[in-house]
Homo-oligomer: A and B are copies of this chain.
Amino acid sequence: MNILMFSGEYDKALAALILANSGKEMGIDVTMFFTFWGLCLLRDPGKMSTKDKTAYETMFGWMTPQGPEELPLSKMNMMGLGKKMLLAMMDQVEAPNLSDFLMGARKKGIKLYGCQLSVEIMGFTPEELLPEVEIITATEYLNNAIEADLQLFI
């Protein structure tokens, strides 16, 4: 199972990670490839760096979400109000939050890949991302995805 995670939104990332974790628990081999906004999910909030970055890259780094809990909703975000509401509703049914699912994915050994070109364009350094993340090219992603039984672009 291969998920291409393009979007940088809380609800879509939640859907992706619930599927990834469920798949892994079922014994399915799960790979996630993070491109563009999806990379924001893999940022380690404690490791922001401005070293060797251009002005654009530094600005971009501050303007974009720094880690899973900062991602906005894809709908009804309303300056964060809709997200507060969704989080409260998740809490009421005792559903884990996005950070929990991401931690679960890391612990279960779900393979997390970052897209090389996206990392270059956005100016993220490998040190700013979670230690489990491996940077690969679109070609390497395709080699992997084409062999999978289930591929999703999220």
Chain A positions near chain B (C-beta within 8 angstroms)? 1, 4, 6-8, 11-12, 15, 18-19, 22-23, 25-26, 28, 35-37, 54, 56-57, 59-60, 63-64, 74-76, 85-86, 88-90, 92-93, 95, 117, 120-123, 137-139, 141-143, 145-146, 148-154
Contact = CB atoms under 8 A, between A and B. Distances in A.
A149 B150 contact: no
A54 B92 contact: yes
B152 A153 contact: yes
Given A8-B75, A15-B35, A153-B152, A142 B95 contact: no
A51 to B, nearest CB: 16
A12 B153 CA distance: 10
Contact of A153 (B117, B123, B153): B153
A121 to B, nearest CB: 5
8 tightest CB-CB pairs across the interface, nearest first? A152-B153, A22-B138, A93-B120, A146-B150, A146-B149, A22-B139, A56-B89, A89-B121
28 contacts: A1-B146, A6-B12, A7-B74, A8-B75, A15-B35, A15-B36, A18-B117, A19-B138, A22-B138, A22-B139, A22-B142, A25-B139, A28-B146, A37-B74, A37-B75, A56-B85, A56-B88, A56-B89, A56-B92, A57-B89, A59-B85, A60-B89, A89-B122, A89-B123, A145-B150, A148-B150, A151-B151, A152-B153
